[in-house]
Amino acid sequence: MKYNYNKEFIFEIPKSDLHLHLDGSLRLNTLIEFAKENKVQLPSYTESGLRELVFKDRYNNLGEYLQGFGYTTAVMRTEEAIERIAYELAIDSYNENVFYIEPRFAPQLLMNKSLTFEKIMMAANNGLMRAKKEINSSDAIKNGEKPAFNYGIIVCAMRMFTPAFSEYYNNFFELHKYSTKKEIFSLASLELAKATIRIINEYGIPIVGFDLAGQEDGYPAEDHKLAYAYCHKNFLKKTVHAGEAYGPESIFQAITDLYANRIGHGYYLFDVNKIQNPNINNKEEYIYQLSNYIADRRITIEVCLTSNMQTNPDIKDIKNHSLKKMLETGLSLTICTDNRLVSNTTVTDEVFLAVNNFDISPKKLKDIIIYGFKRNFYFGTYIEKRHYCRSIIDYYERIEKKYNIKKNE
């Protein structure tokens, strides 16, 4: 059934963004400004030029999509830049009624002799906290007319890297010259996990989750079991990029070997043709068991529609996206941007894209939006999170009433 949603309604409802890369969500003018200051070579120093050459609406493949990160990370190697970029991301999110975000990024891509892990994380938190205080000091929020703005930070380990990725990774290879690449990737993730737990305990920075990003094919999640086991035993929640460019087996590893609470993308969850293990004889049954397990345990899928279309051009039509099957299977899911700059999108755009192309009733839409708050990695007590979710639900219902949305449809 087709439902007609007003885009103003989608804009006004309270939203979250749980899959949001800090280094993929810069303001273009900020990127240009820092590039000039730090003598970072760009293919263009105008916003229109960068939109034409780097940050496009369409990409030919994942490699072209990832090209822009080389420029964004290059300008993020100072505390000033990290703090400002984090601040601006929070402000930009709130300006479209996104009340909760979980920016994620890979600190090891930025680290060097003068820019330590601690400095990077404190700079990001300073920017986000400054925005939070500024936003929450508004009369609308202080008077209870709107919910408060909040955030949590997710750190990303990399499935693979080369010495050229960063000064830190170059030094890491040098220090582990007698280890295999597979061992080096595993050790780097474990080092990041230990640093993360330490800074949470010592500084109280609201790091709420651990992620695994980077090239899926050829770099299995199980190689990072030690890091995820460390996070698991220290009560840090976990998400994993899985099923973005590889099949159901990648998602299986994420939930069985890495204890994933959420899955980033999960696009290929239902694709039998992506299963490569010769020991899986009944592929349909394997996918049924896997998807049912995920649904039953409410392991939430972080859906990024535009990003998936850009990195998987073979999808061609948005209606072919596996979101349709996710909805039919009753999975817990939330709509995210992935990268506001690289994908040239907003949460409002992503939700509007979903409701215009899939069978999403007002009741189902409300469930999806609220899942973004119920399944976030909130940095606070369970009781505090429940109260926060209640404020979001109350506000959502006020917007429903304003636009005469019938709840039972």
**Does the residue 399 lie in any domain?**
no
Number of domains observed in the structure of the chain: 1
Query: Residue 246: which pLDDT band, with cuts at 50, 70 and 90?
Result: confident
30-41 pLDDT tens trace: 999 999 999 999
Total residues found in the chain within this entry: 409
C-alpha angle 189-150-259 in degrees, rounded to nearest 5: 35
**Single-letter code of the amino acid located at 134:** E
406 inside domain = no
User: In this structure, what CATH number is given to the domain that contains residue 262?
Assistant: 3.20.20.140
pLDDT the model gives residue 1: 60
> Strands 262-265 and 237-242, how do they pair?
parallel
Judge contact between 301 and 18, C-beta under 8 A. Answer: no
Please enumerate in sequence order all residues whose Cβ is within 8 A of that of 115, keeping only pairs 6 or more positions apart, or say none.
77, 78, 79
Q: Residue 18 is inside which H or E element, if any?
A: strand 15-21
Planar angle of CA 284, 214, 83, nearest 5 degrees = 135
- What's the one-letter identity of residue 20? L
pLDDT of residue 400: 96
Determine, yes or no, domain membership for 254. yes
Residue 391 falls inside a structural domain = no
- Compute the average pLDDT of residues 394-406: 94
Decide: helix, strand or coil at residue 96: coil
Q: What's the pLDDT tens digit per position in 117-134?
A: 999 999 999 999 999 999
Q: Give the per-residue pLDDT at 408.
A: 55
The first and second tokens of residue 80, run together, are 């000033």
Under 8 Å between Cβ of 240 and 301:
no
CA distance 149 to 99: 5
Q: Is residue 393 part of a domain?
A: no
pLDDT in tens, 83-96: 999 999 999 999 99
The pLDDT score that the predictor gives to residue 409 is 54
Residue with tokens 């000039």: 36
**How confident is the model over 343-384, as pLDDT tens digits?**
999 999 999 999 999 999 999 999 999 999 999 999 999 999
186-228 residue pLDDT tens = 999 999 999 999 999 999 999 999 999 998 989 999 999 999 9
Q: What angle do CA 105, 110, 111 make, to 5 degrees?
A: 120
Which helix (H) or strand (E) segment holds residue 72: the answer is helix 62-74
The yes-or-no verdict on residue 66 having pLDDT over 90 is no
The rounded distance, in Å, linking the Cα atoms of 98 and 16 is: 5
CA 69/CA 89 separation, integer angstroms: 16
Domain around 188: 7-373
Q: Does residue 261 fall inside a structural domain?
A: yes
For 319, the token pair is: 């209606």
**In the numeric block, which tokens belong to residue 304?**
């990024």
Would 208 be classed as within a structural domain? yes
Does any domain span residue 349?
Answer: yes
